[in-house]
Amino acid sequence: MLWKAFWSPGTPLYLKFATFAAAAYLVWPIDLITDFIPLLGWVDDIILVPLLVSWIVSRLPVTAPVRARRDGPIIDGTARRM
């Protein structure tokens, strides 16, 4: 989802930057807490990256789904509460 949103022209620039920053933070050798400290160095990666990704996803613009008909009926994929 983030990959498609990154390349979508409708995504704001600040969300594209945040997506790039989240990916770069995972591979960048400089962290808030260094990885040389056993377990504590990985905790910031385990907590910060999912928080950043959920923040990005919550702010993505809502687009209408493309309903292309291919060799069969269209299945409604919306969730319903009973």
User: For the residues of 18-75, what is the DSSP string, one character each?
Assistant: HHHHHHHHHH-S--SS-TTSTTHHHHHHHHHHHHHHHHHHHTSPP-PPP----SSPPP
The answer to whether the pTM exceeds 0.85 is no
Residue 78: per-residue pLDDT: 64
Q: Worst-scoring range by mean pLDDT, 13-27, 31-45, 53-67? A: 31-45
- Rounded Cα distance, 7 and 58, in Å: 17
- Rounded Cα distance, 52 and 29, in Å: 18
* Higher-scoring residue by pLDDT: 74, 8: 8
| 3-state SS, residue 11 | coil
Can you tell me which residue has the tokens 């790039």?
20
Q: Confidence band (pLDDT; 50, 70, 90) for 73?
A: low
Residue 14: per-residue pLDDT: 93
